[in-house]
Homo-oligomer: A and B are copies of this chain.
Amino acid sequence: MPSYTAPIKDMQFILHDVLNLTEAGIPGYADLERDFTGAILEEAGKISSEVLAPLNPVGDTEGCRLENGVVYTPTGFKAAFEQVKEGGWPGLDMPEEYGGQNMPYVIGTAVGEMFSSANQAFTMYQGLTHGAASAILAHGSDDQKNTYLPKMVACDWTGTMNLTEPHCGTDLGLMRTKAEPQADGSYRITGQKIFISSGEHDMADNIIHLVLAKITGGPEGIKGVSLFIVPKFVVNEDGSLGQRNALSCGKIEEKMGIHGNSTCVMNYDGATGYLLGEEHKGMRAMFTMMNEARLGVGMQGLAQAEIAYQNALAYAKDRLQGRDVTGVKNPDGPADPLIVHPDIRRSLMDQKSFAEGARAFILWGATLIDRAHRGQDTAADGLVSLLTPVIKGFLTDQGYDMTIKAQQVYGGHGYIEEWGMSQYTRDARIAMIYEGANGVQALDLVGRKLAQDGGKHVMAFFDLVKTFIKDNQGQDDAFDRDFLEPLKKASKDLQSAGMYFMQNGMKNPNNALAGSYDFMHMFGHVCLGLMWAKMGRAAMQALKDGASDAAFYETKIATGRYYMARQLPATALHLSRIESGADTVMALEAANF
């Protein structure tokens, strides 16, 4: 049976030694003392390991079941959902006036990683609710906020996002779902939406669907899309539940993974809906939540990599197979544990250095969001907007690869469902697809974000790297050689790629777009390189300060050195691909493929 231990020590190191939360000057951060965050993380870790993780294989094996319009979640989900609600976890970073605890997003993100590691499919019910509530919070009228938020913050009612239709996913301008204005100010929503996560289930009294649709007579294409609140049960003026709305789950999909989450085809047959935000500004309303939602998906990539790594590590220490070629390590046993073998080490170090680097990256991203939202810091807002497609695309691709590496450590046992490793890969796979497929993230990065505000955000990023290097070099030769030099080299590669796009994308935008995926990955490596340099620096400082747990900080430095030596040099390959241009990519006529 796979198990999960929350990486609390590592989170605390990042929050306090690397990001220095309490000194960050962000409203609400001053309260985040080490003991305080420690207590929250301990509690979250406990419910993750003890309640959510044991249900993970149950959800995978049982899946959801649609019977007469009712979707039944797997055994135990309902009770666990109640426990999560009782713990107040869904409202952790929601405003107090709606029943939340008003904690910074960075704390919600750390807790979210644990929940997702332990049970991604389960956590999605809560995650989608959080997303929908955030949209209402940002765009709803006071009346809408008062009607829906208290229930949604508590997860008494859950939420969904309805974007995709059978013929359109990325290209939402093709949308056909219609909204007809009614005399009372409401709309009648008609159409079919697919891939609706948590679309119908048995864990909440009401489900609040946020639905993109076109108001009849409005502009063509994407400019005519508006966002609507469409509750499963219409809410009466007194807050009680009224009539069942004209919407239903037509089918639940058979998927590769996240079986515990109900992925629904939702049919809206003249359902009553309420405009959320402005007419025809539905996409803008969706986009305001995009950074958070995409960071959340990037976090899922890390979360699955983390639990897969934990179990691969345990297996590598336990399973006896072959002997260390440099000398027997387990003379009393019939063989040495797998972990003595260099190629198993390589795999484990890849996983470990990714997970810890990714965690720092995500938590840093979360502080940027806090800085933007709580501190009204537009520079932070611009920077996180630039980094969002990198967090989403790079971390889910790499996170998935790491689950595959973890599965591989198990040999044949990794392929057998009973051992649990297959589920991590199958669950992780969706994160590369939903919330904008990773190719679309690369397009967003290179086609929009790079040039946004005159390229100011990417300049700010490079400045940040440069300043870090300048401030920290010349103090320790090994650190300069093992951390700063590789970071400088990788950052230079990234700049060269940006330069190539500028010089060649003008005459042919395909020269930029054909390199977009490589650019996203090289950007990700530079970010993780920066994180590792920061973590290495913080670990050195802790050792200098005489930290009691020297092994922890030494391990941190050794893991960082691995990343710098073995992973970061990938930037050169990505650069060479980018600089080969679009010619070879676009050479063939479609008919000649």
Decide yes or no: A551 and B313 within 8 Å by CB, A411-B170, A513-B341, A569-B573 being known contacts: no
Residues of B within 8 A of A183 (CB): none
Does A100 reach chain B (CB closer than 8 Å)? no
Given contacts A342-B516, A569-B573, contact A433 B414 (CB under 8 A): yes
* Copies of this chain assembled into the complex: 2
Quick check: is A108 within 8 A (CB to CB) of the other chain? no
User: How far is B415's CA from A322's CA once the two chains are assembled, in angstroms?
Assistant: 38
Q: Are A317 and B590 in contact (CB under 8 A)?
A: yes
User: Residue A514 contacts which of B346, B418, B573, B584 (CB distance < 8 angstroms)?
Assistant: B346
On whether A169 and B439 interact (CB within 8 A), knowing A558-B584, A587-B562, the answer reads no
Which B residues are CB-close (under 8 A) to A442? 343
Q: Is the CB of B510 within 8 A of A438?
A: no
List CB contacts (< 8 Å) of A406-448 with chain B: 407-408, 411-412, 414-418, 422, 425-426, 429-430, 432-434, 437-439, 442-443, 447
A348 interfacial by beta-carbon distance below 8 Å: yes
Chain B residues with CB below 8 A from A342, complex form: 510, 513-514, 516, 582, 585-586
How far apart are A5's CB and chain B's nearest CB, in angstroms?
A: 13
Q: How far is the CB of A413 from chain B (nearest CB, A)?
A: 8
Report A582 CB to chain B, min CB distance, Å: 6
Asked if residues A437 and B411 are in contact (CB atoms below 8 Å), the reply is: yes
Residues from chain B with a CB closer than 8 A to the CB of A317 are: 590, 593
- Asked if A572 is an interface residue, CB under 8 A from chain B, the answer is yes
Contact A349 B584, beta carbon cutoff 8 Å = yes
A494-528 interface with B by 8 A CB criterion:
508-510, 513-514, 516-517
A346 contacts which chain B residues (CB < 8 A)?
A: 514, 517, 585
Is A18 located at the chain interface by the 8 A CB criterion?
no
Max chain B CB contacts within 10 Å: which of A337, A430, A565?
Answer: A565
Q: Are A344 and B439 in contact (CB under 8 A)?
A: yes
- Contact status A566-B584, CB under 8 Å: yes
How far in angstroms is the closest Cβ of chain B from A513?
4
User: Chain B CB within 10 Å — which of A167, A422, A555, A587 has the most?
Assistant: A587
Alpha-carbon gap, A561 to B586, bound state (A): 11
Contact-size category for A: 35 or more
Let me know if A171 is at the binding interface, CB within 8 A. Answer: yes
Across the interface, do A422 and B256 meet the contact criterion of CB distance under 8 Å? yes
> In whole angstroms, how far apart are the Cα atoms of A415 and B400 in the complex?
14
- Give the complex CA separation of A374 and B232 in angstroms: 72
Q: Known contacts A342-B582, A516-B342, A577-B566; decide if A433 and B408 are in contact (CB<8 Å).
A: yes
Q: A561–B585 contact, CB under 8 A?
A: no
Residues from chain B with Cβ under 8 Å of A485 in the complex: none
Q: Does A334 contact B (CB under 8 A)?
A: yes
The answer, yes or no, to whether A255 is at the interface (CB within 8 Å) is yes
| Residues B585 and A562 in contact, CB atoms below 8 Å apart | yes
The smallest C-beta distance from A577 to any residue of chain B, in angstroms, reads: 5
Tell me if A390 is interfacial: C-beta within 8 Å of chain B.
Answer: no
Q: Do B422 and A349 touch across chains, with their CB atoms under 8 A apart?
A: no
For residue A141, which residues in chain B have a CB less than 8 angstroms away from its CB? none
Name A253's closest neighbour in chain B (CB-CB). B416
A1 CB-CB contact with B under 8 Å: no
Chain B residues near A321 (CB-CB < 8 A):
168-171, 174
Q: By the criterion CB–CB under 8 Å, are B510 and A171 in contact?
A: no
Are B171 and A322 closer than 8 Å at their CB atoms? yes
A442 to B, closest residue via Cβ: B343
Q: In the assembly, what is the distance between CA of A169 and CA of B257, in Å?
A: 28
Known contacts A174-B335, A255-B415, A408-B437: does B593 contact A313 (CB below 8 Å)?
yes
Given A417-B254, A510-B325, A514-B345, check contact A195 B558 (CB 8 Å). no
Cβ-based interface call for A376 (8 A): no
A449 at the interface (CB under 8 A from B): no
Q: Judge if A559 is at the interface, Cβ distance under 8 Å.
A: yes
Q: CA A558 – CA B583 in complex, angstroms? A: 10
User: Roughly how many angstroms separate A517 CA and B344 CA in the complex, as a whole number?
Assistant: 10
A392: interface (CB < 8 Å):
no
- Complex CA–CA separation, A417 to B263 (angstroms): 12
Does A206 belong to the interface (CB within 8 Å)?
no
Give me the 8 closest cross-chain CB pairs, A-B, nearest first.
Answer: A342-B513, A256-B422, A565-B580, A558-B587, A342-B514, A562-B584, A171-B321, A343-B439
22 contacts between A and B (CB under 8 A): A174-B321, A254-B418, A257-B415, A317-B590, A325-B510, A325-B513, A342-B582, A343-B439, A343-B442, A345-B586, A346-B517, A349-B585, A408-B438, A414-B433, A425-B429, A565-B577, A566-B584, A569-B573, A569-B576, A572-B572, A572-B576, A573-B573
